[in-house]
Amino acid sequence: MHIEELRRLAAAPVHDLGNFDLEATRADALRQADHLLHTTAGRARKADEQRALDRANEVIDLVDKVMLNDYNAVRRAQAQRQHEAAALRMAAGNVFGRQPDSNLGHRLAEAIGEVRDGRAMATVEIEHRAFTEAGSGGLGVPHVIGEIVSNLKARSIVMALPGLRTVPMTSDRMRWPRFGTATVAAAGEGATLTAANTDLDAVDLTAQKYGSLETISSEIVEDFSADALAAVGENLLRQLALRVDLGLLEGLGAADTVGIRNVVGANSTSLAAAPTNFATFRTAEYELRLDNGDPAVWVMHPRTWTRLQAVKTGIASDETTLLQPDPQQGPRTLLGYPVAFSSQITLVEGATTAGSWAALLDTSQLVVGERRPARLEVSRDYGFASDVIAIRATWRGGLAALNPEAISLITDIR
């Protein structure tokens, strides 16, 4: 459908759509917008890309307005029929001796006027699904479904780390070539150059799905003091973000992604005690720089930070003077690098099963792949026979360390 035709239809209160397929038009525009957002993520858009994105968004808005106009026209017709039925009920009430509601017609007329004048509005997203009983064909039955919400990045600790790249995946697997050592030597004039024998490897990222499904009764939705679907959905997204973080931080692979803690080849130093100074943390920084890494950020459990804040000078008579740099001064930094907390990091590892871990990261060498961005979806027909509404939150993706030396771990922090 041409965008000018959509603008004309959106401006009309009631119209004949003919053979126009609004749902297909909206879906196509949504795919275009989603593709542009993913392909331009992390960089400024070109002028033609921004124009294409604006046009796709306008098409989506216009289709929604056309569908709303149609919906309101149907609602007005329903309200008129309800008004007529109310008049019949009032007459029946007189016959059977019941006192009629003298304000009913007035209230209905006022409600209809509010919708018609734009003072009140009802919106709905409709998908038609075919139901059939024995035989081909069926009846198209509309049902309401919630829109997709892509906001996991704002909630996940790992995905919000400075310098970390999040890239869209076009299949369930991504692969990057990784170049290791190569032999380079000085050579005399006219001498044969040394064979490089470059160490070439590959890094795989496999998408793993995370998700949860919640069902709530229609009575809760109708009677909840707030928007029940929004409240339950927001909570599911928060819990989904925590579980994704657990995978990105501590996943073991198999039915999970391989997390930062378990990347093969990462630098690792054991503390095996409660921290009393910053020596082990400086060692972790040295190990990262020794492998030509560029430290960007620490990740640790909040308990580890609390232990570090309590580090004193070590002089027997001094119980108050903190070592330098003072972790309580200025922004939250350790050895000059920002610190990110996650409660998903374990507190039960190490020799005494009371330890934790922290990592100094070169995030330029870490990649999070998203096969499916975070989705929050609602279905009213999932539990039709029980009159319950289903809400699901899902995310699909994984983490890859392009160079394992970009991770410098400190383990068994008690």
pLDDT tens-digit readout, 327-356: 556 678 898 899 999 999 999 999 999 999
Residue 259: which of 299, 286, 313, 293 has the closest Cα? 299
CATH T-level assignment (fold) for domain 148-183+194-414? Major capsid protein gp5 fold (3.30.2400)
Q: Which helix (H) or strand (E) holds 112?
A: helix 104-117
Q: Which residue intervals of the chain bear CATH 3.30.2400.10?
A: 148-183+194-414
Q: How far is CA 57 from CA 61, 65, 301, in A?
A: 6, 12, 41
Produce one character per residue of 170-193: b if its CB has 16 or more CB atoms within 10 Å, e if not: eeeebeeebeeeeeeeeeeeeeee
Q: Which amino acid is at 375?
A: R
Cα dihedral angle (230, 233, 235, 236), rounded to 10 degrees? Answer: 180
Contact residues for 351 (Cβ-Cβ < 8 A; gap 6+): 272, 412
Residue-wise pLDDT for 234-280, tens only, equals: 888 889 999 999 999 999 988 899 999 999 999 999 999 999 888 99
- Ordered per-residue pLDDT tens for the chain, 414 residues: 567 776 776 666 555 555 567 778 878 888 888 888 888 887 777 888 888 888 888 888 777 777 766 655 555 555 655 555 555 445 444 433 444 444 544 544 555 555 455 554 444 333 444 444 444 444 443 333 344 344 455 468 998 899 999 999 999 999 988 888 899 999 999 999 999 998 888 899 999 999 999 999 999 888 887 788 888 888 888 899 999 999 999 999 888 999 999 999 999 999 999 998 889 999 999 999 999 999 999 999 999 999 998 887 666 666 666 666 665 566 788 988 999 999 999 999 999 999 999 999 999 999 999 999 888 888 988 899 999 999 999 999 999 999 999 999 999 999
Q: Locate tokens 């934790």: which residue?
A: 356
Please, what is the average pLDDT of the chain? 79
Contact residues for 316 (Cβ-Cβ < 8 A; gap 6+): none
What does the DSSP 8-state code read for residue 252?
B
